[in-house]
Structure 1
Amino acid sequence: MVRAGLTTERLVHAGAELADEVGFEQVTVSALARRFDVKVASLYSHLKNSQDLKTRIALLALEELADRAADALAGRAGKDALTAFADVYRDYARTHPGRYAATRHPLDPEAAAASAGRRHSQMTRAILRGYDLAEPDETHAVRLLGSVFHGYVGLELAGGFSHSAPDSQESWTRILDALDSTLRNWPGD
């Protein structure tokens, strides 16, 4: 019999909280069962396995991040939009490090198609429309932004900037200024 109150949605949210506490890689169905003080077998009516749990956490995290980014971008353009978008990623990673790690989790084609990944891409391209880039430069710019945002946040979360001056926020602001300048002055062929 399924324990009262356990639903797939509740388990995925609890798994996301667990990821933020112990790290995404440490999330398993067994760890989740311990959290609810139930037998592992009782969760298999809601989840296939730990991979299924991780995929569902990744989908949740991508959706949460896309919702926050959409709210932050409303009515903004150019550098203001670029900064708002970048800050959402950084703030989400700092607030929800396990969920943020989940956004990098590889998804199978079916899960990827159902994810908010497309929304992230559309928002990034909407920001870039303000910089008047044509293809393939727009795709190069999408890759540049993703690399900088994820790379900086990853290094920052790992403590890479905590022991040196200038302050990490100052560097972040300067990097966003440099990205804006690069996008406005994109190199020609």
Structure 2
Amino acid sequence: MPRAGLTAERLTRAGAEMADEVGFDQVTVSALARRFDVKVASLYSHVENSRDLKTRIALLALEEMADRASDALAGRSGKDALAALAGVYRDYARQHPGRYAAAQLRLDPETAAASAGMRHAQLTRAVLRGYDLTGPDQTHAVRLLGSVFHGYVSLELGGGFDHSAPDTQQTWTRILDALDALLRNWPDQRTET
């Protein structure tokens, strides 16, 4: 019989909090059982295993970020929308580093298709419509933005910029300026040889 008060949702949220505190890689069913002061077996009626728990945390993080991005983009376009979207990812990673790491978890195709990951792509494409990018160019730009946002945030969270000037906010602003300029002047597709 399931222990009173324990649900998959409660365990997922507790796992997400744990990820932010100690790191996503440290989240296991055993660690969560210790946090609730219960036997590991009592959690298996709610989550299958540590992979299932981590997948649930990843889905939660993707949903939270998509909700924030949707709110941030409302009524914005062009560079303003680009900066808002970028800011959501950076701010979320700073506030919830473990959840942000969870959002990078590779999901199986069926789970990924049903996740908020698709909303992230749609929101990014909405930003890119303000730059008149369509088709393959839009896909290339989605990948570019994801790479830049994630790369910068990961390096910043990892302390990669701690001991150098200028200030990381100045760099972030310059990166967004450069991305805006690139997107406004997207190179013409060249004929492949």
- Report the TM-score, using the length of structure 1 for normalisation: 0.99
1:4-23 matches, within 5 Å, as 4-23=4-23
Deviation of the 1:135 alpha carbon: 1.9
Deviation of the 1:134 alpha carbon: 2.5
Gaps of 5+ in 1: none
Number of residue-to-residue matches in the alignment: 189
The aligned residue for residue 174 of structure 1 is 174
Deviations 1:158-178 (A, max 9, x none): 001111100000000000000
The aligned residue for residue 54 of structure 1 is 54
In 1, Cα distance between equivalents of 2:113 and 2:78: 29
In 2, Cα distance between equivalents of 1:165 and 1:8: 45
Deviations 1:56-111 (A, max 9, x none): 00000000000000000000000000000000000000000000001100101121
Task: Give structure 1 regions of 4+ aligned residues with deviation exceeding 4 angstroms.
Answer: none
In 2, Cα distance between equivalents of 1:30 and 1:134: 47
In 2, Cα distance between equivalents of 1:119 and 1:2: 34
The aligned residue for residue 99 of structure 1 is 99
The aligned residue for residue 66 of structure 1 is 66
The aligned residue for residue 88 of structure 1 is 88
Give 1:46's aligned amino acid.
H
Counterpart check, 1:45 vs 2:31: no
In 2, Cα distance between equivalents of 1:101 and 1:139: 23
Deviation of the 1:120 alpha carbon: 0.3
The aligned residue for residue 120 of structure 1 is 120
CA RMSD of aligned residues (A): 0.6
In 2, Cα distance between equivalents of 1:174 and 1:19: 31
Deviations 1:21-47 (A, max 9, x none): 111111000000000000000000000
Q: 3-state SS of the aligned residue for 1:121? A: helix
The aligned residue for residue 31 of structure 1 is 31
The aligned residue for residue 76 of structure 1 is 76
In 2, Cα distance between equivalents of 1:59 and 1:66: 11
Deviation of the 1:133 alpha carbon: 1.2
The aligned residue for residue 134 of structure 1 is 134
Q: Percent identity?
A: 80
The aligned residue for residue 111 of structure 2 is 111
Gaps of 5+ in 2: none
- Report the TM-score, using the length of structure 2 for normalisation: 0.97
Deviation of the 1:2 alpha carbon: 1.9
The aligned residue for residue 154 of structure 1 is 154
Deviations 1:101-148 (A, max 9, x none): 011001011211220011000000000000011321111100100000
